[in-house]
Each structure stands twice: as C-alpha cells, then as structure tokens.
Amino acid sequence: MHDESRRIEERVQRLHDQRIKTAVYAATVPFEVEAWQAPGEPVPFEEAAAASYEPFAMGTPWGPPWGTTWFRMRGQVPEEWAGRRVEAVIDLGFVGDWPGNQAEALVHLTDGTPLKAVNPLNQYVAIANPAQGGETVDYLVEAASNPDILADNFSKVTPLGDKLTAGDKPLYTFRSADLAILDEEVFHLDLDVQVLRELMLELGEHDPRRHEIAHALDRAMDLLDLDDVSGSAAAVREALKPVLSKPAHASAHTISGVGHAHIDSAWLWPIRETKRKTSRTFSNVTSLADEYDDFIFACSQAQQYEWVRDNYPKVWARIQESVKNGQWAPVGGMWVESDGNLPGGEAVARQFIHGKRFFMDHFGIETKGVWLPDSFGYNAAYPQIAKLAGNEWFLTQKISWNQTNRFPHHTFWWEGIDGTRIFTHFPPVDTYNARFSGEEMSRAVRNYQEKGGASRSLAPFGWGDGGGGPTREIMERARRLADLEGSAKVVVEHPDEFFAKAREEYPDAPVWVGELYLELHRATYTSQARTKQGNRRSEHLLREAELWATTAALHAPGYTYPHEQLDRLWKTVLLHQFHDILPGSSIAWVHREAEAEYARVARELHALTAEAVAALGAGGTRVFNTSPYDRAEVVRTADGAPAYVEVPASGSAPLADTAPPQPVTVDGLVLDNGLVRVEVAEDGTLSSVRDLRAGREVLAEPGNLLRLHTDLPNYWDAWDIDKHYKNRYTDLLDAASVAVVEQDPLVGAIRVERSFGKGSTITQTITVRAGSPRIDIETDIDWHETEKILKAAFPVDIRAPHSSAEIQFGHVQRPTHTNTSWEAARFEVSGHRWVHLGEPGYGVAVINDSTYGHDVSRTVREDGGTTTTVRLSLVRAPRIPDPEADQGRHRFTYALLPGATIEDAVAEGYALNLPLRVADAAGAPEPVVSAEGEGVTVEAVKLADDASGDVVVRLYESRGGRATGTLRTGFPLAGAQITDLLERPLQDAEITDGAVAVALRPFQILTLRLRRG
C-alpha cells in the first residue's frame, strides 16, 4: 500500500478547521446591545441595572484597563428556530491563546441571577433546549477589561499592572453577540474528529492503529458534503463509529480526570478581581454539572468559597447543591493554596485549621488531601503538618518544572523531617489545566515513572485563572477516551477515589525524604521584600497578641479574649501567603495593597496586645517576653535609654536596673563586650570578629561584605535567579562614612553609610550589646537599582559539611558541596529566621528578621583551612510583572551569632523576631506555660477555638533529637489532652505533679489542650 499519511493528515486538518468547526453554529441573529461604563471600581448589580445605557455597535473598542463595562443584550429567538438548541454566543474581542488574564464577563438575568460566564474558550450561554420560537432573551452582562499583562511573553515592561499607571485607553474591540443554533450533530462530529486525529498523530508511524484511524478518517471525509455539513454530519459520524468504539488495551494506563479551575487568589490581577473570577468560573462549573451527570469538580481554597458566599449568594447556593449531589468536591483543606516555603510553621498549621473548618462548617465534609499544584517548592515539615490536620494524601505538579533534574517519581511516599510519611502524587500530564488532547494523553503515559509498579495517574482538567474551568468540549473528550484503543483510559472521578485506588495498587511505592525543592523560581525567596517583611512581622505579632490575650483572659477579671478579631486577622495574613503574593510574583497593585494590609494588621495587633497587657493592671513598668526562651538582654525604655533586663520565657519582669556580666567598650572602630570583639574596617566591612569565649577568629575574610550583582534571569524576572548572576558584580567598599554613634556600658554601635548605583543609599548600624555575643546589623536601604540583587556575605572559618536552615517546626540540612547535579541546583535556597554552620565543637549562625533567600558555598584556602560563606539575599529589582518592584525604602536587621549551637540559633531567632515589649503594667502573673527540657519549644499559646476557655499549646522539638521534659502551667490544671491541629482529642496526656509530661521524637509537633481547674 502506498503511504498517503501526509495527504490524509492535511486533508483532515483542513476539513476540520475550515468546514466542520465553522459549522457548529448553524444560524445566528445578532443581539441589540447597549453599554454603560461603570465609573471606578466594580459596582453591585442593582446599581448597574438602574444605570442609563447607550447603543453599542459591534466592532467598537471598549474597556479601559481594569474597567468594568455593563452590556444590556436583548434578542428574540426566531419562530423557525423552535425545537432547536439555542445559545447566546458572545465574543468580547478575546486575544491570544491564554483563556485567563484578559477580558471576562458574567451574564445575568434581569433579576440579578448569575447564569454563566463568558470566556475565550467558553463563549456560550445556553438559552433553551428545545427553544420556543419568539422567545425573548434579555441579559445584563458584567464585562471586565482586565489587561493581558504578559502579552509580550515576559519580554516587555508594562505599566498595566496597576490602575494608577495603566491609563484609560480601551483594550478590546467587541466582535459579536449573537443568538445561535447549536448544531448538536456537527458539535459531536467536531469532537469525534479532534479526538481521533490527535490520537492518530501521537501513535508511532509503524503502529497499525495509526493507519487504521487515518484511513477511517479519510473514508469518513468522503461522506462530508461541503455544501451541507449539517446534513451529512450524521453519516460521517456513523462511519467513524468503528474506530471510536474499539476498546483500550487491557494494560492501558488509566487517567483519573478531575475537573479543576486553578484560580490564583491574586497574581496578574488584584484580589478584587479574583472575587469576580471565582464567581464566573463557579457559575460555569455549576452550569456544566447540570448538563453532565458524570462531571466532578475539585476546588480548593476556602477563601475563594467565602468570597462567593459573601458576594454571590445565588452562585453559593448552586455550589452547595452541587456538593450535595456529589459533583463538587472541596479539596485541599487550606485557606488558600499558599506558598510552600515562606509561611511560618504556625501559619501553615492555621492554613489547614481555617480551611478544613470552613469545609466542615459549610458542607459537612472533612477534606482528606493537600491540593497544591502550583506552589514553588514544598518544605520538609509538610508531611507531619498535613497528617496532624487529618490529611491522607498530597498532590502537586510544579516539580515537573525543574530546570536541571527530573524528579524520579510520580507516585511515592513523602517523608518529612520528623519521619512522618504521606502518600503523594505528581500528575505526569505535567499540567493542572489539562484538556485531554492527544498530546497530553501521550505525554502522561510517556512521562509516568511508575511503569511496572503502578498503572494510574491523575489529571486536573479545565481552564484556570479566569478561563472558566472545565468545558463541555473537555467532558466530551473524556467520554470518548474512556475506553479507546491506542490511548490511555480516562475516568472522571473524585481525587479521594484516585488516591485510594493508587495506594491500594502501589502500597510499596518508593520514598522521597526531605524537602521537595523546585529547581526554578528561586528568586521568590527574595522578590518584593516589603511583602515578605509584612508577613514575617504579622506572624510574630499574631503570636504575641495570642499569648498576652490568653494571659489576660486567665488573670484579668472582665477581659474578653478577642476570638473574632484574631480569627479575622489570621485569615488576612493567610490570604496574603498565597503562592503569588508572598513570593513576590504579582503585579504592582497586589503588592501595594498587601503592604497596606500588613500595616493595618500590625496596627490592630499592637492595639490588641496593648489592651491585653493593660488589662493586667497599671502602676509600674514591666518588660514582656513573647519568646519561648528566657532572655537576659538590653532593652530600650520609653525615653530610649538602654536597660539590661532578665525576663522568663513567655512571661514578664519589672524594668529594673540589673548589672550586665560585663560592660561594652568602644575603642576607635572596635566594639568589645567581653564575649565578642568586633573590628570594623574603614571600608565598613567587619575586618575581624573574635569569639573571646572560644579564643578564635570567626571570619576567614571580611564579613558583611555587600555585593551588588547583575540579575537578569532567562525568563521569569520576579520568579527566577539564574546561576549566571554570580558572574558579574560590584563589591560595595566605598563607605561615605564610618563612625561610632553610640558608646554606652550597655550598647556600642558603629554606623556605616554608603551610596552606590543609580542613586541608592544604604545605612547600616553595627551594634554590640552587653551580655550577648550577637552582632546586629540594622539596615536602612533607599533602593533605586534595576535588574540587580544585593547580597550580604559572611565568610567564616569553619569546615561545615552542610548548612542548617530553619524551616517550619525544625530545620533542614543541605550539603555545602556540589558533588551532584541535585546539590549544584540548590545554588539559592530558603530559610526562615536563621542559618547555621558548624564543625565539631563550634558553630556560627546568621539570623534575620525578614529575609528568606540565601546561598552557602565553601572554598579551601592555601593554608589548608576551609572558608564557608553564607550570603543573605537582601533585596532584588526585577521589572516584570511589577516595573517598580522593591524600589524605595527597606528597613530590616540581620545578625551574626558566633559560638552558636542549633539551640542558640533557635533562641536568638525568636529573640530577634520578637523584641521585648516595655509597657505600663503592675500585674506579675505567672507565664501561661513554661516548658522544661532541652529542645522542647513552645510555638503557640492561645485559647481554644471553640470558646470553651481551654488553653491550647503547640510545641515542637527544635534541635533534631529526642526530647523529654514537662510543661508547667501558670493556672490550676484540671486535665490535658493531646489533640490534632483542629484541637480534636487524640489521647489523654500524662500529668505528673501538676505538669504535663512531654516526650518528643526529633522535630515532632505536639498540640496540647489544657483544661483549667
């Protein structure tokens, strides 16, 4: 037989694209359209319905950036259309091939009932099936003219990312708004041909099935009447039935399709627009559920549900009905799909607490899995946190984006730092916006790493980010691919069902231990420094407010614990931990609003803490320590004078004159407190840091070396830092001023001022205080660079085989060498409050109050010694998607801690991030709880969420070893229970001599519920 493959393939493509697809709608009549441009921000339906509309012609430009235009559309179904399926088809002037991040609309009835959204790949609204001739159609359509921020594929800087700079030029040209007959036979023929053609092209050239499909399509196309596609469609479909009905191979891979609409809670649009995106997509989803009984939609992010509940009650009611029908599956159990690295441990716990409670309260459903397809790496504490929240499985897809190494598993057990394992799956389809194309089906099978051990994978399908979610076309593809020879099999089902089947099939799946590091998007540890600082400070202010509110509730008559206010503030912070807000990868508008929200949260939390402290009584001055460690350090009084105080963990002490172990001396540019001696060079670097206790020099080279690197990644500006950034840099060694600015027995400080680059300035105050080996570097930057990154280096004289970086409820160790490609790929990593380097008998920590990104490297000197260098990433200057990212003022502190153990690093990390509070208070209550035992660290103290008055304490083992100890209370203890994160009892805790006995494995998290006597 002659090979006619090319002719057939080209014939089928042309006939499909130019004749079949264009005949899906058999006839159209235009709507009469009027328009009203809403002034400013979006308005409620009632206001839009009462507005004055003006005639609007097709082909007219509309929609200023971030604007809202309401269209009134009126039409009448022609009498001759009676009995046909009639739809409204609306093209707002959609652009490009991305169904999100552009124009979208929500269609309402005139009484305000939302019907369905209109999106680039989902442009129809069903009218009637069958229709009545003469039927009147009257819609009000809310159209959002959101700009396509990345229209130039990340290559051009744009001012469109903020309404303050976007201008008012219309972005779109309205193409059409019609009533149309959907020719259902042609619609199905369109899908028949698509599915077969795509399958054919994915099969091997020597595969008989490929040629069988090709010739079947060729013969079927002979039956297509080019002058009457509609009339001949049935015959064409009949001719294709034999090849569409051949069952899949018995050993074919099975893909569990799960309807999905990944909607970033903010990204290239502000939060206010996400509220509308969710309503549009959820309207589409509930509409599709009415049409397809076998449709199942998985939806995460409780915050988005709450937005719809509060703003679109009719859509909310439809969601509730779909949940009852089993077609809508709440998943994920988190408040938002947060970043996987940057939120603190307690914040990750609260993501699950607030998320799971929402789903239980509103749907009576406890979600079983973690659904995080798009975060930029996943911390190694996740398995334990997830399991303690009642989860059984974990799903992500993002690791497939690795820049260097291919992850070796798709289905596996993920083991965290404490030993907890959770069953985990990465969809080999490598997308969370699947549409069941032939290429996707082939890719999923080809990629799947578990061949021979397992035979199933999951594919989330549907258009995200405002694209409208799953479509009827995707559902039709799934039906055709349910059992089709040459293809993987598709079954649409709940993700819980997939995970149950996958675990049963593959109980001995391989194990991955430690963090799931994404070899991409490493700059998200640093970009938008003010957003990150707002998160870090909010987390610690929440801890502080909860501790002192609990103290006041226990000891201050008449004080009421602020449950509702704390709940609201926590949810604000959790929202802003979304994986495109906290990482710094959103447009300017998002980060401008985030900074304002963090400032508001800080004001409220300071006020809450002040109110709680004041409730303890006035008439004296006390110092309050929110840290879980005893502290002896210098504090500033109300008039700014330093004072040395000793304060117990989670307690308070009077502000009294206490003599420090040894005063600070200042001799030229040398600071000495008997513990460390710090020499500052004329260029402003630390020329020497001598640990007087150990009798050794800490630095191998000048420390606090500020280095300005050129920073232009290959593609994703705000997301990425590529290795070549190291090759071009300038060391900032020209100090405008180096001078002593404080010389007191309790404090010695030297200030270094510099100017550099494009008018940037940096002022650093290097401070040594009595009684502490910690050297603080308070930093004030006025930053005006572009496409640069600023790092601060500490080259220490330590041969450290690995670095230890704090993460949620513990720390991870990373090699300092690059023996393998996996190690070399970790050239920029994340940590929380500290990074520790150690050799047997000696260690050093670098501590910070707001940065996360850093790198660690080592070299061997000519004298044979080893220099291990920690470099903190301080601030960046990407231009896409926010042209002004990080510009302006930044104030933060980082510190060097010589002679530090891991426990010292933990304690000083808390101390730097939880400054002592000086307040007018006379009461001296006992700390709510006191932990005894090395490594037993209290992370949170609060009242129980059920308002029972029980005290809830969350603690963990922080050193990485076993810990035993006790937890004593500052109130009569009547009983204690070990609970899960949602404060549900697991077992009674042992009480001995009025204290709770504690025994922890390495990095174990323990939540205790304490009943008051």
Q: Which residues are catalytic?
A: 374
Residues 619/625/626/631 CA torsion (nearest 10 deg): -170
Which residues, in sequence order, are bridge partners of residue 154? Answer: none
Residue 86 token pair = 């009639």
CA distance linking residue 679 with residue 676, whole number of Å: 10
CA distance linking residue 598 with residue 244, whole number of Å: 57
Query: On the CB side of 37, how many CA atoms lie within 13 Å of its CA?
Result: 13
Q: Are 578 and 336 in contact (CB under 8 A)?
A: yes
- Measure Cα distances from 1013 to 921, 949, 971, 985, 990 in Å: 26, 11, 8, 18, 16
b/e 609-624 (16+ beta carbons within 10 angstroms → b): beebbbbbbeeeebbb
Angle at 92 between CA 88 and CA 95, to 5 degrees: 130
Q: What is the DSSP letter of 249?
A: P
Say whether 787 sits in a helix, a strand or coil.
Answer: coil
Q: What is the DSSP letter of 604?
A: H
Q: Are 777 and 765 in contact (CB under 8 A)?
A: yes
Of 160, 158, 69, 146, which is closest to residue 103 (Cα–Cα)? 146
Describe the strand order of the beta sheet including 32-38 as a list of residue ranges. 54-55, 32-38, 67-76, 136-145, 104-109, 114-118
Q: Please provide the DSSP assignment of 266-296 as one string.
A: SSSS-HHHHHHHHHHHHHHHHHHHHH-TT--
Amino acid in the structure at residue 430: D
Number of Cβ within a 10 Å radius of residue 161? 29
Residue 285 token pair = 């989803």
CA distance linking residue 487 with residue 484, whole number of Å: 6
Amino acid in the structure at residue 433: N
CA distance linking residue 333 with residue 300, whole number of Å: 7
For 211-218, which contacts have Cβ atoms below 8 Å and span 24 or more sequence positions? 211/5, 212/243, 213/243, 213/486, 214/5, 214/8, 214/9, 215/8, 216/240, 216/242, 216/243, 217/8, 217/12, 217/193, 218/4, 218/8, 218/11, 218/12
Query: On the CB side of 62, how many CA atoms lie within 13 Å of its CA?
Result: 32
CA 293 to chain centre: 32
Strand 810-815 and strand 802-807: the pairing is: antiparallel
Of 628, 766, 771, which is closest to residue 703 (Cα–Cα)? 766
Of 475, 8, 435, 479, which is closest to residue 200 (Cα–Cα)? 8
CA distance linking residue 798 with residue 701, whole number of Å: 12
